[in-house]
């Protein structure tokens, strides 16, 4: 949702309300989403440290919603790229809420000279593997049968036919990581 007025309307149709990265510090939006009784996912702004997300999480909780998650989606790195700092995953997990890694938006390359956002879909699996190793609780991966024909974000989407194999490999990695964590 993008405005407080959209919260109640959207909550009639969905289980989770998502707060966009650029709006993650908007108290009125966070509070409106929290008061709907739906789970709330707050995407971390590209301009924020992981530690700063604790305040967004607390605003949602203070408004009565304990079912809050945060999503890492990269940090602005120069003018034409984003980078994921995997140290942020355990930092945000320390807030006591699930952490999701947005594998596709974190590979966006904004402000390209052609005027259209670019991306690195060839790196989706690498980003996802690292996120699992760092302890991410979930992954967000945009997919499309033909990314070049997608209406939005096609430059950083995974082709749909590649998704089953990727999910199989990632599940195997998660199983091994869980075994290692259990041993320690």
Identify the helix (H) or strand (E) that includes residue 19.
strand 16-19
Asked if 14 and 46 count as a contact pair (C-beta separation under 8 A), the reply is no
pLDDT score of 108 more than 90: no
> Using CB atoms within 10 A of its CB, is residue 125 exposed (0-12), middle (13-18) or buried (19+)?
middle
pLDDT score of 23 more than 80: yes
H helices of 71-123, where? 88-93
Q: How distant is the alpha carbon of residue 127 from its chain centre?
A: 12
Indicate the pLDDT class of residue 65, thresholds 50, 70 and 90. very high
Q: Where is average pLDDT lowest: 24-33, 82-91, 140-149, 175-184?
A: 175-184
Asked whether the CA dihedral 163, 168, 169, 175 is positive or negative, the reply is positive
Q: Give the domains, in start order, of the chain with CATH numbers.
A: 4-183 (3.20.20.70)
Token code pair at residue 44: 């971390």
Q: What is the DSSP letter of 3?
A: S
Bridge-partner residues for 99, per DSSP? 70
Q: Where is average pLDDT lowest: 33-37, 56-60, 81-85, 165-169?
A: 81-85
Asked if 100 and 64 count as a contact pair (C-beta separation under 8 A), the reply is no
pLDDT score of 182 more than 90: no
Q: State how far the Cα of 78 lies from the Cα of 64, in Å rounded to an integer.
A: 38
Nearest to 99 by CA among 134, 49, 130: 134
């Amino acid at each position: 949702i993008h405005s407080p007025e959209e919260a109640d309307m959207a909550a009639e149709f969905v289980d989770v309300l998502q707060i966009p990265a650029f709006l993650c510090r908007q108290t009125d939006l966070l509070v409106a989403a929290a008061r709907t009784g739906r789970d709330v996912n707050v995407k971390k702004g590209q301009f924020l440290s992981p530690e700063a997300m604790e305040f967004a999480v607390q605003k949602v909780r203070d408004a009565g919603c304990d079912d809050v998650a945060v999503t890492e989606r990269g940090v602005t790195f120069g003018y034409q790229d984003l980078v994921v700092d995997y140290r942020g995953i355990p930092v945000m997990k320390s807030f006591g809420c699930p952490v999701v890694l947005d594998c596709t938006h974190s590979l966006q390359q904004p402000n390209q000279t052609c005027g259209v956002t670019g991306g690195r879909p060839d790196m989706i699996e690498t980003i996802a593997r690292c996120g699992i190793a760092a302890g991410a609780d979930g992954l967000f991966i945009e997919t499309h049968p033909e990314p070049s024909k997608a209406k939005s974000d096609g430059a950083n989407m995974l082709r749909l036919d590649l998704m089953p194999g990727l999910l199989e490999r990632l599940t195997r990695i998660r199983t091994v990581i869980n075994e290692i964590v259990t041993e320690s």
